[in-house]
Chains A and B, each alone.
Chain A
């Protein structure tokens, strides 16, 4: 993880500090961070209140839509797609949603019956639903942003971060709603223990989507860094910035986060996810920093990018 220019320990410590909004929404101006934090906080509180009122199906849908909605607002707010919003949006959020629905249906098809889980325990779905599906799903969701990699219009590392994060958010939300569709037919207040439900909703609505967004954004950032960034920045993050390392690592991060569900309680899984979220966000911040320096150097607005002279995009 060594990179030239990151000399001071305090600067490195600050880079590793997991700031959610500035990391997942890197193009957001500093003065908008508070509004987004407030929106995320209010949305999360609404999910908890809905669960406390035992409106579990509604709470689940609200949890699943929370981050995709915030991401959609962000995309409009900073006008990431410029003059080409429809097809670019199709390849990120719409593709993420389609892939999420597909993997939700696939998970339903391969899921053991409730009876089978009771008889065989959760080990029955550990491999397929805990490891294989999340790992494969992660790489399928990357296909949308990968198409955008070809376009010169989106040549900044931060574009990759944004595309990865938005596709990841849409994927997670769509998958959770599709897989839990049976819950909608169970009535408005189907019953269940409130506290485990709250942990579970926070896991499905925040914990898992954040790690998916972080991992997808980090993977896309590595791709953009390699194939779109100036040559001097391509090696800025060392091995972690190389797609051959970054992509499998991101996939393992997502699968590792998901598999915790198969052997932990609802609360335990949430704690597990928070740890993975922190790792994903910290990794992503390293890449974003390079992306920001790259933009700074490209516009000639500020200091040097990792101590080297700006070059033409590769």
Chain B
């Protein structure tokens, strides 16, 4: 019961639908859900057959021309890496790691490379690094078999690898992002590298991942 003043009758109004409102709403809402389901099915990306480790899997990704390799070294952990300065810029750096902003072929992303002490396992390093990412919401492991990392490692040392999906959110809505993270340890230092980009700009055959591979493979272990 509301204490708001009772509504006086006004010519063409009336609430004529009565209890039918729920039925009509339910029907229309189901139709809209069905339409959006159909739209999503039609717009869904082509299913990619998962690759098998050690087996050829289509054409290799195109790597942008490496015009100028620039070196970066961690003053705390002693590992170093190289990156093509034509498409990669240092965005942030600390004694233990560096954040590289990649802008290549019209796509952009971030490669974060960070060192950890010997006591940190590669799996923990990945969790720490991904957990510290700001601005990514709804983060969860990517269970799509076609997206899994095969033979993950850093600086040609085998290690652990994980892929995630999340969303870059704003008050207006969400945009999907993909995250791939690899880490390895030489027994003295653990290095973890994480690539973040919009889902549309990511993937095995993307320029972003090709540049990230260059950087991750270039890691030189200390000593």
Contacts and interface: CB of A to CB of B under 8 A. Distances in A.
B196 A193 contact: no
Contact of A82 (B12, B45, B142, B168): B12
Contacts of A188: 37, 40-41, 44
A62 interface: yes
Interface string B9-26: 111111111110110111
A200 B169 CA distance: 9
B2 A73 contact: no
A50 B29 CA distance: 13
Contacts of A262: 170-171
A61 B173 CA distance: 11
B101 A119 contact: yes
Interface stretch (A107-115, A213-221, A234-242, A245-253): A107-115
A65 B64 CA distance: 43
A131 to B, nearest CB: 9
Interface residues of B, number: 75
A58 B33 contact: yes
A259 B171 contact: yes
A118 B7 contact: no
B174 A183 contact: yes
Contacts of A309: none
Q: Mostly helix, strand, loop or mixed at chain A's interface?
A: helix
A305 B40 CA distance: 53
A124 B91 CA distance: 14
A115 B171 contact: no
B102 A115 contact: yes
A36 interface: yes
B109 interface: yes
Given A15-B4, A111-B175, A184 B43 contact: yes
B198 interface: yes
Contact of A62 (B25, B32, B134, B135): B32
B21 A32 contact: yes
Interface string B91-130: 1100000010110000011101000000000000000000
B110 A115 contact: yes
A156 B19 CA distance: 27
Nearest to A260: B171
Contact of A182 (B40, B92, B176): B176
A288 B5 CA distance: 9
A26 B8 CA distance: 11
A58 B19 CA distance: 27
A32 B18 contact: yes
B39 interface: yes
B21 A35 contact: yes
B33 A295 contact: no
B3 A11 contact: yes
Nearest to B165: A191
Contacts of A179: 170, 172-175
A57 B36 contact: yes
A299 B13 CA distance: 14
A107 B12 CA distance: 40
B82 interface: no
11 contacts: A14-B2, A27-B13, A29-B7, A31-B15, A65-B32, A78-B15, A115-B197, A129-B170, A193-B139, A196-B138, A295-B10
Given A27-B10, A192-B139, A192-B140, 20 more contacts: A29-B15, A35-B19, A39-B22, A113-B109, A114-B110, A114-B197, A116-B101, A119-B110, A121-B135, A179-B175, A182-B199, A184-B40, A188-B44, A190-B199, A191-B165, A261-B171, A295-B10, A296-B8, A298-B8, A299-B8
